[in-house]
């Protein structure tokens, strides 16, 4: 049979070991949760650019608007801009297209004409900040 003093010493050692284990578990949990939270909250932003190209329609006051986001063009795939309903997005004027880009968060950078024979094609450059995780290729 154990004496009372030996029993007290054993109980104290048991509690000390439990406290050490608690500290180890808590420290491990804190380290693990900090790694998980860092991985989920990457707020690195990068700039992306696009170009709005306005080409006058033949024998008309209207323009054809093409928005180049840098995607690969394909004969087999329709890359035209579409509405939320899936219809092809049409613009009445170049100002309509520029206003659309502003509503979408794009910031105007510069505009310049390119002369092709007797026709001037206007190019409008825009930029926008995106989360790095939202951009394909990163």
Q: Is the pLDDT reported for residue 115 higher than 90?
A: yes
Q: Report the number of distinct structural domains present in the chain.
A: 2
Of 30, 13, 55, 45, give the one whose Cα is nearest residue 133. Answer: 45
**Contact, 46 vs 132, CB < 8 A?**
yes
Question: Average pLDDT in the 111-128 region?
Answer: 93
* Residues 31 and 82 occupy one common structural domain: no
* Residues 110 and 64 occupy one common structural domain: yes
DSSP labels for 69-138?
-SPPP-SSS----B-TTSPBP--SSHHHHHHHHHHTT-EEEEEEEEEETTEEEEEEEEEEEEEGGGSTT-
* Residues 30 and 65 occupy one common structural domain: no
Q: What is the pLDDT of residue 35?
A: 64
What's the pLDDT tens digit per position in 4-26?
566 555 665 666 666 665 666 56
Cα separation, 37 vs 2, in Å, equals 50
* Residues 59 and 126 occupy one common structural domain: yes
* Residues 61 and 22 occupy one common structural domain: no
* Residues 111 and 73 occupy one common structural domain: yes
Higher pLDDT, 57 or 45: 45
pLDDT, mean over the chain: 80
**Contact, 48 vs 128, CB < 8 A?**
yes
Q: What is the pLDDT of residue 100?
A: 93
Q: What is the pLDDT of residue 51?
A: 94
* Residues 78 and 107 occupy one common structural domain: yes
Where among 9, 26, 41 does a domain terminate? 41
Question: Average pLDDT in the 18-37 region?
Answer: 62
* Residues 96 and 57 occupy one common structural domain: yes
* Residues 37 and 49 occupy one common structural domain: no
Question: Average pLDDT in the 111-135 region?
Answer: 92
Burial class (CB in 10 A: 0-12, 13-18, 19+), 137: exposed
Cα separation, 120 vs 55, in Å, equals 7
* Residues 6 and 28 occupy one common structural domain: yes
Q: What is the pLDDT of residue 102?
A: 96
* Residues 51 and 11 occupy one common structural domain: no
Structural domain boundaries enclosing 11: 1-41
Cα-only R_g, the chain: 32
Q: Is the pLDDT reported for residue 105 higher than 80?
A: yes
Cα separation, 106 vs 103, in Å, equals 7
CA angle, corner 94, sides to 88 and 95, nearest 5?
A: 110
Question: Average pLDDT in the 91-97 region?
Answer: 89
* Residues 3 and 32 occupy one common structural domain: yes
């Amino acid at each position: 049979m154990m004496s009372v003093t030996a029993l007290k010493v054993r109980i104290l050692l048991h509690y000390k070991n439990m406290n050490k284990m608690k500290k180890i578990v808590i420290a491990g949990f804190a380290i693990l949760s900090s790694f998980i939270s860092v991985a989920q909250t990457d707020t690195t932003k990068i700039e992306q650019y696009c170009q709005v190209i306005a080409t006058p329609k033949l024998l008309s006051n209207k323009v054809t608007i093409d928005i180049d986001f840098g995607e690969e063009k394909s004969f087999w795939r329709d890359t035209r801009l579409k509405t939320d309903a899936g219809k092809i997005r049409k613009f009445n004027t170049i100002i309509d297209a520029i206003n659309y880009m502003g509503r979408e968060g794009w910031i105007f950078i510069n505009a310049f004409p390119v002369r092709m024979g007797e026709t001037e094609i206007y190019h409008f450059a825009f930029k926008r900040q995106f989360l790095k995780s939202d951009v394909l290729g990163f």
